[in-house]
């Protein structure tokens, strides 16, 4: 199938409507609708359920898109690499990421990135605030979430799995935790976002998801500080695998439920690269996206729960 049709399908899913996708592509909404209809005709099943007011993906559409999106990203990356000229990437790349992600996943790789692109300067803004990319002149933002929505173009550079973990010292001093529901009897360390404060979600492969109410006397607005509090034995915490996997491997933290997926929002989350436009993507932005994707995938082991 024409990859342009597939990209249009992915854009509609990202934007949530034909009209929003048309605004991103600067075309008439009817052309977006025709492209989606053509893709559905080729596939033999509906990708979207349409009413006069709403548009949502079918179950078949979600399954199909989840499989083809990584392929579309790889095709874009391959085309970008193949079309690069011999000129070096230069200038200044202004980018932003959360404090924890910048500290753990970007800063450790800056030296190698500079070795590859010595004529490119990187201005990194670590902040947990959602900066306006256009207003702040930012070329690239890394956001941690389920699929982003809005006018910005997004590509996932890393799938995230959350882990519930605690320090061995804490576990030795408190009642045993054998199932997620045992967390109700513990003072959990909670992230200062509304969806993280009151309940955490769990599921095993092939089973129904369930919620567990959580509470505790420590709420922190920074993931690095939450990790520190967990290492100090203050209680169970939910943090991303890229932040705690090394601690788990070293025995500083214990993964309490390795056979469960855990989340406070959606199970399918990740680190997303956001930038203003897919058209004429600056090579400095494409270079950083490809570099981070490669580096982070090398560091992330296969996940037996998700199969990635």
Instruction: For the chain, list the domains and their CATH numbers.
Output: 3-82 (1.10.10.10), 86-158+268-299 (3.40.190.10), 162-263 (3.40.190.290)
Enumerate residues 6+ apart whose C-beta is below 8 A from 105: 97, 158, 242, 271, 292, 296
Question: Model pTM greater than 0.85?
Answer: no
Q: How does pLDDT run across 175-186, given as a tens digit for each residue?
A: 999 999 999 999
34, pLDDT greater than 70: yes
12, pLDDT greater than 60: yes
**CA atoms 68, 71, 73, 75: torsion sign:** negative
Q: 161-165, 176-180, 250-254, 284-288: lowest mean pLDDT where?
A: 284-288
249, pLDDT greater than 60: yes
- Can you give the pLDDT at residue 308? 40
301, pLDDT greater than 70: no
- Can you give the pLDDT at residue 13? 87
19, pLDDT greater than 60: yes
Residue 56's pLDDT band (cuts 50, 70, 90) = confident
- Can you give the pLDDT at residue 272? 92
252, pLDDT greater than 50: yes
- Can you give the pLDDT at residue 16? 84
Q: How far apart are CA 227 and CA 165, in angstroms?
A: 10
Enumerate residues 6+ apart whose C-beta is below 8 A from 67: none
Q: How does pLDDT run across 138-181, given as a tens digit for each residue?
A: 999 999 887 777 777 888 899 889 999 999 999 999 999 999 99
- Can you give the pLDDT at residue 109? 95
What is the SS3 assignment for 221? coil
Which stretches does DSSP call E strand in the chain? Answer: 48-50, 55-57, 91-97, 120-126, 140-145, 153-160, 162-166, 187-191, 199-203, 210-213, 215-220, 237-240, 254-255, 261-263, 269-275
Strands 215-220 and 187-191: parallel
276, pLDDT greater than 90: no
Higher pLDDT, 283 or 304: 283
CA distances (Å), origin 2, targets 9, 24, 257? 11, 20, 42
Residue 279's pLDDT band (cuts 50, 70, 90) = low
240, pLDDT greater than 90: yes
Mean pLDDT comparison of 4-18, 95-109, 286-300, highest-scoring range:
95-109
């Amino acid at each position: 199938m024409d990859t342009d049709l597939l990209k249009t399908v992915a854009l509609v899913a990202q934007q949530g409507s034909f009209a929003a996708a048309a605004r991103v592509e600067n075309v008439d909404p009817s052309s977006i609708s025709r492209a989606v209809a053509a893709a559905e005709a080729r596939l033999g099943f509906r990708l979207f359920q349409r009413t006069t007011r709403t548009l949502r993906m079918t179950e078949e559409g979600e399954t199909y898109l989840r499989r083809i999106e990584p392929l579309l990203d790889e095709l874009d990356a391959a085309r970008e690499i193949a079309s690069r000229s011999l000129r070096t990437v230069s200038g200044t790349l202004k980018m932003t990421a959360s404090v924890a992600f910048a500290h753990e996943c970007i800063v450790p790789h800056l030296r190698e990135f500079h070795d590859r692109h010595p004529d490119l300067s990187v201005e990194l803004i670590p902040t947990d605030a959602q900066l306006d990319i256009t207003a702040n002149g930012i070329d690239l933002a890394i956001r941690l979430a389920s699929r982003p929505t809005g006018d910005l173009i997004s590509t996932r550079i890393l799938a995230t799995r959350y882990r519930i973990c605690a320090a061995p010292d804490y576990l030795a001093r408190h009642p045993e935790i054998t199932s997620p529901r045992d967390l109700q009897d513990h003072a959990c360390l909670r992230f200062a976002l509304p969806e993280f404060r009151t309940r955490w979600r769990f599921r095993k492969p092939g089973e129904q998801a369930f919620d567990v109410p959580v509470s505790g006397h420590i709420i922190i607005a920074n993931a690095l500080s939450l990790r520190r509090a967990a290492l100090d034995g203050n209680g169970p915490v939910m943090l991303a695998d890229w932040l705690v996997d090394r601690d788990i491997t070293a025995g500083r933290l214990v993964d309490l439920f390795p056979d469960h997926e855990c989340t406070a929002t959606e199970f399918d989350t990740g680190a997303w690269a956001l930038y203003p436009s897919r058209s004429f993507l600056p090579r400095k932005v494409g270079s950083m996206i490809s570099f981070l994707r490669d580096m982070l995938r090398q560091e992330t082991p296969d996940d037996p729960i998700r199969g990635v």
